[in-house]
Structure 1
Amino acid sequence: MRLSFAVALATVLVAGCSVDTAGPVRAAERFHAALAAQRPDAACALLAKRTADKLPHPGQNCAEALRDLDLGAGGGLTEVRVWGDEAQVRLAGDTLFLHHYRDGWRVKAAGCRPVRDLPYDCEVES
């Protein structure tokens, strides 16, 4: 799957501005902590609705679908980029894309790896 975010937009780093990076970082870390604790239902609760709805194959629920994927180990934070209501969080073992909704930051894509000269290839995306 190819993530449809524009590569140029993903390269915009908001620096020197008062930007909340803690929210997307917390959401990304909570997502991977839930996976590491083998709590895929909790991880599904952190997904954007459209992402959670798209994830399962027929006959599966979100938690079963997440168990079947290799989403990386998460790991320590390496970089955060925020532009408006969109964010990219890079952990040592994964790159996630998030969106800020009224109820907080939600994961729109996870298990993302850069593809040379192309958008990211993601295991989970909306």
Structure 2
Amino acid sequence: MRMPFAVPMLAVLTVAGCAVDTTSPARAAERFHAAIAGRQEDSACAMLARRTAEKLPGPGQTCADALREVKLGPGGRSTAVSVWGEEAQVRLTGDTLFLHRFSDGWRIRAAGCRPVRDLPYECEVED
């Protein structure tokens, strides 16, 4: 399912090429893609925001089933991280993801995102 994902761009802090700890949005995005690459879709689903995980499956599917069908970029290492409040955008070498910081850490709200000229991002997975 491809839908636009609006990105607030005011007061964006960009951090590129910095070391990040395991609770960072970049680390969460990289772990999500590592789970996908390792065919650990159940683990990847556990990294999604609840609304995203609930919206992803089609009728008769689990979240893991749906992730197996989604075409995401290859992931890779983070190249840029933008954080504004509790929201973040992580650009990996092969994908762009949007995350939200919950009480238990950063969770994926959208993945497989591509910019669309003069419009919000289009994402393969989103809430």
Counterpart residue identity of residue 109, structure 1 = A
Residue 74 (1) aligns with residue 75 (2) = yes
Task: Specify the alignment match of 2:111 in structure 1.
Answer: 110
Task: Specify the alignment match of 2:93 in structure 1.
Answer: 92
Higher strand share: 2
Q: Deviations over 1:70-109 (max 9, x none)?
A: 1110012111000110000000100000000001000000
Task: Specify the alignment match of 1:4 in structure 2.
Answer: 6
- The residue matched to 1:51 in structure 2 has which SS? helix
Aligned counterparts of 1:77 and 1:35: Cα–Cα separation in 2: 16
Residue 32 (1) aligns with residue 26 (2) = no
Return 5+ residue gaps in structure 1 as ranges: none
Counterpart residue identity of residue 66, structure 1 = L
Higher helix share: 1
Counterpart residue identity of residue 13, structure 2 = V
Task: Specify the alignment match of 1:46 in structure 2.
Answer: 47
Counterpart residue identity of residue 116, structure 2 = V
Return 5+ residue gaps in structure 2 as ranges: none
CA change 1:110–1:15 in 2 (3 A) is closer
Aligned counterparts of 1:64 and 1:44: Cα–Cα separation in 2: 10
- The residue matched to 1:123 in structure 2 has which SS? strand
Q: Give the TM-score normalised by structure 2.
A: 0.88
Corresponding residue pairs, total: 120
> Once the 2 structures are TM-superposed, how far is the Cα of residue 15 of structure 1 from its aligned partner?
5.6
Q: Give the TM-score normalised by structure 1.
A: 0.89
Aligned counterparts of 1:49 and 1:123: Cα–Cα separation in 2: 16
RMSD of aligned Cα (Å) = 1.7
Q: Which runs of 4+ in 1 moved over 6 A?
A: none
Residue 83 (1) aligns with residue 87 (2) = no
